[in-house]
């Protein structure tokens, strides 16, 4: 007997196959019993009619509890009334394991309970859809950079220093010294552009921030491209092309998941380059006119980002922030040295910042001065400064946060559902 997955069931129309999975639901209607089987790739209904199937199998259905594991064998029929397109006429079944009473029922559960049972909650349809969208987003990212000739440069997690200060770093003993968990691969990508031209890294990053919001995780995944000879405009163009590519991929591959999550796809269909664009300075002016409290020189908070996002139907690029609120490695703006050639991309519909990036300062002397001015130890950055000593070139890059992108595209209200096992303040288990 052929063993098949539900996702490929259309290939077996009219044939007998075995499917293996878990009992999602069952019901009875007189002499007919219905089993809904879940195998991780899809759902299917199997129908047993008393008299047409051996009694021992018919009776066995009675014993099945929710989430029991089993193998069902029968004939696959197309069924247009079924939400899954196909049904099975059951011929036999084999019980693998009768589940204990399953703690997650179809009724509402509290968040804390669901998070304590994250390892089981993963089985729920809503969670599965979000994580399938995550899976496709990540595949689209790998494909995007592969097609464009970028070389993957896995940057280290254990690092001696940090890009943006040490207050939010996880620290560990490293033999006779200390190491810190990486917050960004950028410093490691910049030297690599001189070897490979176009590079990217993609891995977990860490923030030991004591913030507990819908948008923060202590451990999250980030993809960061870095390109030699790219300037500020090239950087924005790459970001627009990249985000548009991800969205088009998800629309193509995840139609079923988006529908099941009741995501408004027409909003995603509008995500095409070029995006809306506004300078930091103009955004501050407009926010003030709209009566929102902010002064030039303040950083934007989540509420500001939501308002700015609402000005456009596409994502919006905010560019040229004040240098004094940005890290030392950013290239000064060509026209106004109080500004930097940076850009953030804000997702629409209130999903916040998904990208932050900049052209990098490639002038050795200016960069040295900034490292010293910020009170950073120059000797820790010598290797990073070497990029400017040996064939310095203009270059630019950015980072895209995976979980925020998943939240946006799947329409998840809380970032904790966008990663299989979220790490949050006071949440390290399971």
Residue ranges in 347-406 that form contacts with a second copy under rule CB under 8 A? 362, 383-384, 386-394
Task: Closer to a second copy by CB, 159 or 359: give it.
Answer: 159
Q: Which bin fits 175, alpha (ψ -120 to 50), beta or left (φ > 0)?
A: left
**C-beta neighbour count of 374 within 10 angstroms:** 10
Task: Closer to a second copy by CB, 7 or 15: give it.
Answer: 7
Q: Could you tell me if 330 and 340 are in contact, meaning their C-beta atoms sit under 8 angstroms apart?
A: yes
234 counts as binding a second copy under rule CB under 8 A = no
Q: How far is the CB of 257 from a second copy (least distance, A)?
A: 12
255 counts as binding a second copy under rule CB under 8 A = no
Of 156, 165, 297, 301, the one binding a second copy by CB under 8 A: 156
Of 44, 239, 258, 419, the one binding a second copy by CB under 8 A: 419
Of 26, 33, 91, 134, the one binding a second copy by CB under 8 A: 134
Helix residue spans in 311-359 (DSSP H): none
337 counts as binding a second copy under rule CB under 8 A = no
302 counts as binding a second copy under rule CB under 8 A = no
Instruction: Name residues contacting a second copy, limited to 33-72 (CB under 8 A).
Output: 39-41, 67-69
In angstroms, the CA 24 to CA 284 distance is 52
- 3-state SS assignment for residue 335: coil
Q: How far is the CB of 203 from a second copy (least distance, A)?
A: 6
203 counts as binding a second copy under rule CB under 8 A = yes
Longest dimension (CA), the chain: 87
Task: Closer to a second copy by CB, 140 or 314: give it.
Answer: 140
Nearest to 346 by CA among 389, 315, 386: 315
Nearest to 238 by CA among 223, 220, 253, 249: 223
Of 153, 250, 317, 400, the one binding a second copy by CB under 8 A: 153
334 counts as binding a second copy under rule CB under 8 A = no
Q: CB under 8 A: which stretch of 124-132, 281-289, 307-315, 336-344 binds a second copy?
A: 124-132
Query: Is the torsion defined by CA of 226, 228, 232, 236 positive or negative?
Result: negative
Looking up tokens 């989430």 gives 67
Token pair in block for residue 362: 């490639």
Q: CB under 8 A: which stretch of 84-92, 118-126, 333-341, 344-352 binds a second copy?
A: 118-126
In angstroms, the CA 58 to CA 49 distance is 8
């Amino acid at each position: 007997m052929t063993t098949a997955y539900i996702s490929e069931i259309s290939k077996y129309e009219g044939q007998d196959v075995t499917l293996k999975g878990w009992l999602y639901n069952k019901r009875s209607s007189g002499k007919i019993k219905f089993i809904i089987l879940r195998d991780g790739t899809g759902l299917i209904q199997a129908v047993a009619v008393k008299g047409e199937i051996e009694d021992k199998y018919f009776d066995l259905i009675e014993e099945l509890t929710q989430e029991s594991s089993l193998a069902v064998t029968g004939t696959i029929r197309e069924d247009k009334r079924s939400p899954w397109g196909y049904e099975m006429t059951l011929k036999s079944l084999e019980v693998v394991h009768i589940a204990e009473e399953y703690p997650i029922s179809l009724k509402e559960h509290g968040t804390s309970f669901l998070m304590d049972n994250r390892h089981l909650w993963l089985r729920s349809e809503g969670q599965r859809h979000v994580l399938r969208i995550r899976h496709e987003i990540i595949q689209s990212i790998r494909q995007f950079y592969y097609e464009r000739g970028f070389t993957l440069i896995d940057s280290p997690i254990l690092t001696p220093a940090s890009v943006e200060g040490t207050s939010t770093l996880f620290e560990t003993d490293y033999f006779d010294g200390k190491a810190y968990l990486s917050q960004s691969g950028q410093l490691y990508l910049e030297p690599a552009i001189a070897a490979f031209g176009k590079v990217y890294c993609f891995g977990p990053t860490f923030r030991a921030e004591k913030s507990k919001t819908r948008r923060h995780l202590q451990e999250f995944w980030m993809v960061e491209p870095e390109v030699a000879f790219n300037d500020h405009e090239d950087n924005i163009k790459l970001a627009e092309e990249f985000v548009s590519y991800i969205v088009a991929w998800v629309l193509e591959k995840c139609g079923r998941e988006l529908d099941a999550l009741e995501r408004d796809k027409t909003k995603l269909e509008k995500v095409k380059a070029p995006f809306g664009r506004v300078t930091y300075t103009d955004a501050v002016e407009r926010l003030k006119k709209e009566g929102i409290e902010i002064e030039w020189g303040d950083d934007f908070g989540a509420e500001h980002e939501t308002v700015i996002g609402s000005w456009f139907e596409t994502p919006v690029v905010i560019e040229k922030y004040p240098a004094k609120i940005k890290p030392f490695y950013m290239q000064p703006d060509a026209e106004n040295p109080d500004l930097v050639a940076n850009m953030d991309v804000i997702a629409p519909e209130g999903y916040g910042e998904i990208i932050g990036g900049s052209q990098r300062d490639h002038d050795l002397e200016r960069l040295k001065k900034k490292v010293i001015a910020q009170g950073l130890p120059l000797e820790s950055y010598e290797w990073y400064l070497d990029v400017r000593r040996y064939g310095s070139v203009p270059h630019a890059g950015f980072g895209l946060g995976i979980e925020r992108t998943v939240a946006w595209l799947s329409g998840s209200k809380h970032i904790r559902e966008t990663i299989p096992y979220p790490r949050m303040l006071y949440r390290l288990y399971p």
